[in-house]
C-alpha cells in the first residue's frame, strides 16, 4: 500500500507478500506511521518495538494464514485487542506481526435457554453486554475499559472488574474456545454445555495466557439471567483501617449461633453477597473531585461503596449500613434509586482517570491480598508512599482484596520516576508477604515478568515454560511476555 513512502527491505517485502497471498490488501498495514500506532497498550514503563506489519484478519482462515506465514518465516506475532491492557502484554516487539483481532467482531449466537453466547474475539465487551441484555441475559465481567475493550483481550488477560465480588472474573464465563495454534492448525477446546470434563481443561489454560499459547478466534461464553437493578450505599470512614474492618464484617460469615434475622429475605449478621464492594481512599476522592467537581466528601479518609442486586436491595443495604456503623462509619448514605446509585458509582469509575490528572503519569498496580489482610495492605501502602515521598492513591475492589495502588508522578522528573518504580516494586513485595498475588486481574505482560518468578517459584516457572514450549516450540507467540 505505502511502499513508496517506506520501502521495505527484502525480508519485509517477503513477509508482506506472503501475508498478502492470504489476506486482502486492506487487511495488511505497513505504513510505519500507522503501524507505530499499534505499538503499545496502556501500561506505563513497558518497552515496545516497531511492528513490521499490522494485519487485520476477518476470518479464521485468514488468522491461520497469518500463523502459517509467521511459522514459516520465524516472525514473532503479537496478538492485540483494543490495547486497553495495563501490563504491556499487547506491546509490539521489534519487527513483529501485530495480529489485531478487532475486525473479527461478530456475535455469532445468543441462546437464552442454554444461556450462552458464541462470539468472535473482537467483539467489544459493552456491545456483548447490551446484546445479551436484550434477551434478559447478563455477561458479568466489566473491566473499567468495557466500552472499548474486546472479549478476546478480556480472555487473554483474564479480566475482572467491579462485578467480581459476586460474579467472578472472565475465566469463569469461558466454556470453550477455538484457537489457532502457532503453526496455523485449528484446535477446539471445552464445550457448549453447562458441564464437561472430557480431558484436560485446555480452555482455562488459554484464558489469561496473554496470547502466548495461541490465537483465540471464537469463544463460547456462559451467561447469567439479568439480575435486578443494583442499589448502592456509600459509607464514609475516618480511617482506612475502619473501612477495611467494615469490609471484613460484611463478608464474614457467622456460625450456627448467629441465626439469620427473620424477614428481610434471609439476611444475616454477616456473610453478605454484595454485587459490588469498592473502596476509594482520600487521595482518590480528592482527585475525582478536582477532575469532575462531584462533591464527594473530602474530609473522609476512606469511602466504601456497597451494592446489592438482590430481590430486596434496600433491606440488604440497611443491614450492611448497620455493619458499617458498627465499624465506625462517620456517615452512611444509601441511594434511593438507580439514578442515585449511578451517581455514586460515577466517582469510582473516574478514579484512574482522575489520579492520572494529578501529576500527568500514573503507575497502576494490581495487587490482590486475602480480604482479611486488606487493612495491613492499605497501611503498608501509606508507609511506602511516605518513605518515597510520593502521592499514591488507592482504589480497590475491596470485597475481593484487590487493590489498585496508583502512583502519581511527573514522568519528566527522573528522580520521582525512579522512586515511583521502586515504590511499585515494594508494593508487590508487600502483597506477596501478606499472602497475596502480584496481579489480581491486569496480568503479567512485560510489567511484572520479573515478579512472576518471585510469586510462583522456580518449579512453577519451569513447568509453565515447558507448557509454553508445547504450544509454541519456535517461540513466535508474543515473545518476551510473562517470562
19 by DSSP, 3-state: which? helix
Q: Smallest gap, in angstroms, from Cβ of residue 366 to a second copy?
A: 9
C-alpha cell of 34?
500507522
Does 308 sit near a second copy (CB under 8 A)?
Answer: no
Regarding beta strands 331-334 and 231-237, do their DSSP bridges make them parallel or antiparallel, or are they unpaired?
Answer: antiparallel
91 by DSSP, 3-state: which? coil
Does 338 sit near a second copy (CB under 8 A)?
Answer: no
Q: Which residue has the cell 441475559?
A: 137
Q: Smallest gap, in angstroms, from Cβ of residue 462 to a second copy?
A: 9
Among 66, 303, 335, 369, indicate the residue that binds a second copy (CB under 8 A).
369
Q: How many chain residues bind a second copy (CB under 8 A)?
A: 104
Q: Which residue has the cell 517485502?
A: 13
- Applying the rule CB under 8 A, the residues between 376 and 415 that interact with a second copy are 397, 399-402
- Rounded to whole angstroms, how far apart are CA atoms 292 and 296? 10
Contact 169, 159 (CB under 8 A): yes
In this complex, which beta carbon is closest to a second copy, that of residue 278 or of residue 416? 278
Does 189 sit near a second copy (CB under 8 A)?
Answer: yes
Among candidates 1, 9, 4, 6, which has minimal Cα distance to 29? 1
Does 265 sit near a second copy (CB under 8 A)?
Answer: yes
Among 255, 337, 339, 414, indicate the residue that binds a second copy (CB under 8 A).
255
Does 51 sit near a second copy (CB under 8 A)?
Answer: no
Q: Smallest gap, in angstroms, from Cβ of residue 291 to a second copy?
A: 27
Contact 482, 452 (CB under 8 A): yes
Burial of 349: CB neighbours in 10 Å, binned 0-12, 13-18, 19+:
middle
In this complex, which beta carbon is closest to a second copy, that of residue 7 or of residue 255? 255
Does 64 sit near a second copy (CB under 8 A)?
Answer: no
Within 10 angstroms of residue 171's Cβ, the number of other Cβ atoms is: 17
Q: Interior CA angle at 249 toward 375 and 391, to 5°?
A: 25
Does 35 sit near a second copy (CB under 8 A)?
Answer: no
Q: Smallest gap, in angstroms, from Cβ of residue 427 to a second copy?
A: 15
- Applying the rule CB under 8 A, the residues between 196 and 215 that interact with a second copy are 196-202, 204-205, 207-209, 213
Within 10 angstroms of residue 201's Cβ, the number of other Cβ atoms is: 13
Q: Smallest gap, in angstroms, from Cβ of residue 171 to a second copy?
A: 7
Does 116 sit near a second copy (CB under 8 A)?
Answer: yes
Q: Smallest gap, in angstroms, from Cβ of residue 466 to a second copy?
A: 4
Amino acid at each position: 500500500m505505502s511502499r513508496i513512502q517506506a520501502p521495505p527491505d527484502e525480508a519485509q517485502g517477503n513477509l508482506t507478500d506472503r501475508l498478502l497471498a492470504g489476506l486482502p490488501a486492506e487487511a495488511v498495514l505497513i505504513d510505519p506511521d500507522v503501524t507505530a500506532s499499534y505499538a503499545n497498550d496502556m501500561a506505563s514503563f513497558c518497552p515496545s518495538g516497531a511492528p513490521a506489519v499490522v494485519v487485520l484478519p476477518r476470518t479464521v482462515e485468514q488468522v491461520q494464514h497469518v500463523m502459517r506465514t509467521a511459522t514459516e518465516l520465524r516472525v514473532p506475532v503479537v496478538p492485540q485487542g483494543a490495547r486497553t491492557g495495563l501490563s504491556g502484554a499487547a506491546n509490539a516487539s521489534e519487527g513483529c506481526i501485530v495480529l489485531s483481532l478487532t475486525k473479527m467482531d461478530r456475535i455469532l449466537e445468543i441462546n437464552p435457554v442454554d444461556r450462552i453466547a458464541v462470539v468472535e474475539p473482537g467483539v467489544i465487551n459493552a456491545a456483548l453486554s447490551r446484546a445479551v441484555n436484550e434477551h434478559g441475559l447478563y455477561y458479568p465481567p466489566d473491566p473499567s475499559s468495557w466500552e472499548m475493550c474486546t472479549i478476546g483481550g478480556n480472555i487473554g488477560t483474564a479480566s475482572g472488574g467491579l462485578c467480581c465480588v459476586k460474579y467472578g472474573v472472565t475465566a469463569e464465563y469461558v466454556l470453550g474456545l477455538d484457537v489457532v495454534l502457532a503453526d496455523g492448525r485449528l484446535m477446539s477446546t471445552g464445550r457448549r454445555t453447562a458441564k464437561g470434563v472430557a480431558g484436560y481443561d485446555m480452555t482455562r489454560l488459554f484464558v489469561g495466557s496473554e496470547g502466548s499459547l495461541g490465537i483465540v478466534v471464537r469463544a463460547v461464553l456462559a451467561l447469567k439471567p439479568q439480575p435486578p437493578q443494583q442499589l448502592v450505599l456509600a459509607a464514609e470512614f475516618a480511617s482506612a483501617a475502619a473501612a477495611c474492618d467494615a469490609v471484613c464484617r460484611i463478608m464474614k460469615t457467622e456460625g450456627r449461633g448467629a441465626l439469620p434475622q427473620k424477614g428481610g429475605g434471609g439476611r444475616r449478621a454477616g456473610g453478605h453477597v454484595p454485587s459490588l464492594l469498592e473502596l476509594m481512599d482520600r487521595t482518590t476522592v480528592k482527585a475525582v473531585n478536582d477532575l469532575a467537581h462531584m462533591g464527594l466528601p473530602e474530609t473522609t479518609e476512606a469511602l466504601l461503596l456497597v451494592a446489592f442486586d438482590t430481590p430486596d436491595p434496600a433491606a440488604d443495604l440497611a443491614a450492611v449500613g448497620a455493619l458499617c456503623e458498627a465499624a465506625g462509619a462517620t456517615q452512611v448514605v444509601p441511594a434511593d434509586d438507580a439514578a442515585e446509585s449511578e451517581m455514586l458509582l460515577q466517582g469510582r469509575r473516574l478514579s484512574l482517570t482522575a489520579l492520572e490528572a494529578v501529576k500527568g503519569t500514573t503507575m497502576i498496580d494490581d495487587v490482590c491480598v486475602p480480604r482479611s489482610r486488606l487493612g495491613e495492605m492499605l497501611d503498608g501502602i501509606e508507609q511506602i508512599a511516605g518513605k518515597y515521598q510520593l502521592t499514591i492513591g488507592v482504589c480497590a475492589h475491596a470485597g475481593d482484596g484487590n487493590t489498585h495502588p496508583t502512583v502519581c508522578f511527573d514522568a519528566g522528573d527522573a528522580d520521582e520516576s525512579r522512586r515511583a518504580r521502586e515504590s511499585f516494586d515494594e508494593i508487590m513485595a508487600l502483597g506477596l508477604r501478606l499472602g497475596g498475588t502480584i496481579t489480581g486481574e491486569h496480568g503479567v505482560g512485560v510489567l511484572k515478568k520479573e515478579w512472576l518468578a518471585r510469586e510462583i517459584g522456580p518449579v512453577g516457572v519451569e513447568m509453565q515454560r515447558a507448557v509454553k514450549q508445547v504450544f509454541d516450540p519456535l517461540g513466535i507467540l508474543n515473545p518476551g511476555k510473562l517470562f
